C-alpha cells in the first residue's frame, strides 16, 4: 500500500464521521417537534449510510492498461499494477429517513390534531441518538489516532533518512 494512502483513508473516515455527528445533532435538536399542519408529518429522524469510496467504474478503470510500461503512483513504483488503494476509504452514500413510526400524542383540543384527536411527535429517540453519537465520536477518535500514528511514522522515516 502506498504509505500516504493511509492518510487518505483516515481523512475520508474523519469527514464521514463528522457528517454523521452533524446529522445526529440535527436529530437531537428536532426531537421535540410535532406536525406543523393537519396531515403533515413531523421531523423524521435521519440516518447516514456509509459506503466504500471506490465505485465499480473505478475498479474497472484500475485494470485498464495500454502498454506494459511501469506505473507510478505517489512516488511508489508499480510494475504493471495500478495502486489498488487509490480509491480506498469511506464516503457517505446517502442520508436517509428512518422508517420508524411517529409518536402519537392524544390532544383532541389541539388545532393540529387529526380526526382521532392525535398529534404526532418526531420519531427521534434521544437514547438511540446518544448511543449513535458516542459510537461516531469513538470512531472519529480512532481515525484521528491512526492519522497521528502515520504522521509519527512518516516523521521517524524522514529522520532516519536524514531529511529532517
pLDDT at residue 83 in the model:
56
pLDDT at residue 78 in the model:
45
For residue 46, the surrounding DSSP H or E stretch is strand 46-52
Angle at which helix 5-29 crosses helix 126-161, to 10 degrees, equals 160
- Look up residue 156 and give its three cell numbers: 521517524
pLDDT at residue 150 in the model:
87
Which residue ranges of the chain lie beneath pLDDT 70?
A: 1-3, 55-87, 163-164
Amino acid at each position: 500500500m502506498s504509505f500516504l494512502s493511509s492518510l487518505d483513508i483516515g481523512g475520508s473516515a474523519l469527514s464521514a464521521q463528522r457528517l454523521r455527528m452533524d446529522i445526529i445533532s440535527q436529530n437531537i435538536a428536532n426531537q421535540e417537534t410535532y406536525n406543523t399542519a393537519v396531515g403533515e408529518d413531523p421531523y423524521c429522524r435521519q440516518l447516514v449510510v456509509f459506503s466504500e469510496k471506490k465505485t465499480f467504474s473505478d475498479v474497472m478503470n484500475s485494470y485498464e492498461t495500454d502498454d506494459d510500461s511501469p506505473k507510478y503512483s505517489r512516488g511508489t513504483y508499480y510494475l504493471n499494477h495500478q495502486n489498488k488503494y487509490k480509491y480506498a476509504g469511506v464516503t457517505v452514500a446517502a442520508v436517509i429517513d428512518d422508517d420508524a413510526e411517529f409518536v402519537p400524542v392524544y390532544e383532541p383540543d389541539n388545532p393540529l390534531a387529526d380526526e382521532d384527536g392525535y398529534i404526532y411527535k418526531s420519531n427521534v429517540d434521544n437514547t438511540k441518538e446518544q448511543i449513535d453519537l458516542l459510537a461516531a465520536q469513538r470512531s472519529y477518535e480512532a481515525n484521528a489516532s491512526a492519522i497521528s500514528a502515520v504522521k509519527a511514522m512518516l516523521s521517524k522515516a524522514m529522520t532516519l533518512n536524514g531529511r529532517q
